[in-house]
Structures are given as C-alpha cells and as structure tokens.
Amino acid sequence: QLLALSAMSRLRTLSRCSGRLAARIAAGAAASALVNARRSTLAESPSVSVPGVDERLPPPAKLDDPEYNAAVLERWREHVRQAREAWQRKDMPAAEAQLKQALEAAGHFGGSSAPMATSLLNMAQFYRRANRQADAEPLLLRAADVLDQTAGPYNKVTVIALVDLAKTQLELGKAASAADGFEDALERMHQAISSSEDGHTALVPMRPAVLLLAARAQQKMGQEGEAEARLRLAVGLLSEQWGPESPRLIVPYDALG
C-alpha cells in the first residue's frame, strides 16, 4: 500500500493546485501569462496524441477579455466537475468525453497555460487508471513540460507529474527512461527540501515511495548495487518518519531480501 496512490484523489489535488494559477489567468491579472499563451498555442506546442480529440484547434481568442476568459474557465471547470461525477458513478465513457471537452476548452488559454497542464494531467490519470499507459505517457510528457513553466520545476505538482511519467514508463517496460525520470524527480525533491520549508513539508513524505520505485527500475536494469542503496535509504527515511517497527517498512525490507 506504500506505493498505491488514489488516482482520482490526486486528480482533485492537482486540479485545485493548478486551478489557482488558472483563475489568475481568467481574471486577467496574469498579463504575462496571456502573452505567453498567445505565443504558444496548442498547435505550436509539441504534439500530444489524445484519442478522439481534434488536435487542429484554432488559436486562442479574446485573451485580453477578462469576462470571456472567465466564461471559458467556468466551462472548463464544469467539464472537469462532470468528469469527476461520471468517474464516481463508474461511467468511464462519459468521464473520458468530459475530460476531452475540458482539454479542448483549455486550448483557449494556450498550450503552456495552467488549465492545459491540469487537463493533460487529468486525462493522463484517467488513462493510467484504465491501464492505457501508452495513451498516458505523451500527456504526462507534455504536462511535465508545461508545469515546469507555470508551477515551477520544484513545485509538488510538477514533481508528481514527473513521478507519474516515470511510473508509466516503468509499466511500459522502459526501465532506463523510468530510472532517469525517478532520478530527476528525486533531485528536484532534494533541491526543494534544501531550499524551502514549504518544499520540505510537501515533498518529504513522497521520497521513500519514489526511492522504492527508482530501486525497482534499477533492478530491472540489473543494477542491483544501486537498487540496494536506494532501498536502504528508503528504509532509513521511513524509520525516521514512522518508527523502526512501522509496517510501512515491510515493502522495502522485502525488496532487500
């Protein structure tokens, strides 16, 4: 259970975090973000294949109109809300359709906007939950790139996207890419924890799980020594957080053999 994360719970967390950025765009307060959005539309961004979505979206319109932006943002939020409700009643086709419509609405703000990042993450989480990792991977690649620009490289949401990308690659049998991704995420965690009390609070609990995943990727590559070092570090961190007798230590001890 240490490695298990609720996809829809995290979807709501990601939506709230990125949603605050999106609200600033819609209100017209983030003028620079609107300029960036005009320069970097979805059509100009790296290709993201989303089944059933027309990728030939028109350029953003009325980016300098706060009222119009607010209306588009509200429509986007409504699609996200309906997708969540469809998920809760286990109507997967309806959830997917609403997420695709949210992605199209997010295109109004440009390919490097907060709504776009959130929609990419939401769709990726949906596909991961549906065991459609091949569909999730390109979305996570794009989302991580956008979040680097909007939320920052050391933001918790950005790091989560990188971890989910690496997990997806590991599940697709791309152990080398996954190992690189976990290494990147761990380095960002280290930088955030070292430089920010907020980063410490948000990211410290994530480190043991990411270390375990990184060890798994290294084991698949035959790097047993490196994997063992990761596992022992995870054991040490978990012992500090939960005590040496915590059942949370079962997984890393079992992996150590």
| Rounded percentage of the chain residues whose pLDDT exceeds 90 | 53
Concatenate the DSSP letters of all residues of 55-108 into one string.
--PPPP--TT-HHHHHHHHHHHHHHHHHHHHHHHTT-HHHHHHHHHHHHHHHGG
How far is 76 from 122, CA to CA, in rounded Å? Answer: 12
- Higher per-residue confidence, 21 vs 125: 125
pTM of this structure = 0.72
- Higher per-residue confidence, 249 vs 37: 249
Chain segment 158-167, per-residue pLDDT in tens: 999 999 999 9
Q: Which segment of 18-32, 90-104, 121-135 scores lowest on mean pLDDT? A: 18-32
Q: What is the reported pLDDT for 100? A: 96
Chain segment 128-185, per-residue pLDDT in tens: 999 999 999 999 999 999 999 888 999 889 999 999 999 999 999 999 999 999 999 9
Q: How confident is the model at residue 112 (pLDDT cuts 50, 70, 90)?
A: confident
